């Protein structure tokens, strides 16, 4: 879907890889949003970039808000509290939160590195 057909293999150039990650992450989020709307499914999508940044989208209950509540309640030593309150949540913690809030989410998409 671009000027050239791209080979399906790891992009060796680091900055090109980052650009592609960023573009395709957006596309994935959009697709998730669309399937959720068209097919009437709740979707939550969490994307951790290679650098630990968390992007999210959710239809229905906000995963972001769930995470924020969790962090506010359980994380006393919140040293690196960021603008969105999400950066630095470990995958393990995230899964635990989602599990405990499972009834809120009919469909989930979770992606992290």
Contacts with DNA, residue ranges (CB under 7 A): 1-6, 15-16, 18-20, 22-24, 26-28, 30-31, 34
77 binds, among DNA, its own copies, none (CB under 5 to 8 A by kind): none
Which helix or strand (DSSP H or E) is residue 54 part of?
strand 54-58
Determine, following the binding rule CB under 8 A, whether residue 2 of this chain makes contact with its own copies: no
Answer for the pair 18, 29: CB distance below 8 angstroms, yes or no: no
Answer for the pair 85, 71: CB distance below 8 angstroms, yes or no: yes
**Which strand ranges, in their side-by-side order, compose the sheet holding 54-58?**
54-58, 44-48, 108-111
Residue closer to DNA, measured from CB, 3 or 99: 3
113 binds, among its own copies, DNA, none (CB under 5 to 8 A by kind): its own copies
Nearest to 40 by CA among 106, 103, 101: 106
Determine, following the binding rule CB under 8 A, whether residue 108 of this chain makes contact with its own copies: yes
Residue closer to DNA, measured from CB, 27 or 91: 27
d(CA 14, CA 18): 6
> Given the rule CB under 8 A, which residues bind its own copies?
6, 8-11, 17, 20-21, 24-25, 27-28, 31-32, 34-35, 37-43, 48, 50, 91-92, 95-96, 98-99, 102, 105-113
């Amino acid at each position: 879907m671009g000027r050239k057909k791209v080979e399906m293999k790891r992009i060796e150039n680091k900055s090109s890889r980052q650009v592609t990650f960023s573009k395709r992450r957006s596309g994935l989020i959009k697709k998730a949003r669309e399937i959720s709307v068209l097919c009437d499914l709740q979707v939550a999508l969490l994307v951790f970039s290679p650098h630990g940044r968390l992007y999210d989208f959710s239809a229905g209950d906000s995963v972001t808000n769930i995470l924020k509540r969790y962090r506010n309640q359980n994380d006393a030593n919140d040293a690196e509290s960021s603008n969105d309150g999400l950066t630095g949540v470990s995958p393990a913690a995230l899964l635990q939160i989602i599990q405990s809030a499972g009834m809120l989410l009919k469909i989930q998409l979770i992606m992290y590195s």
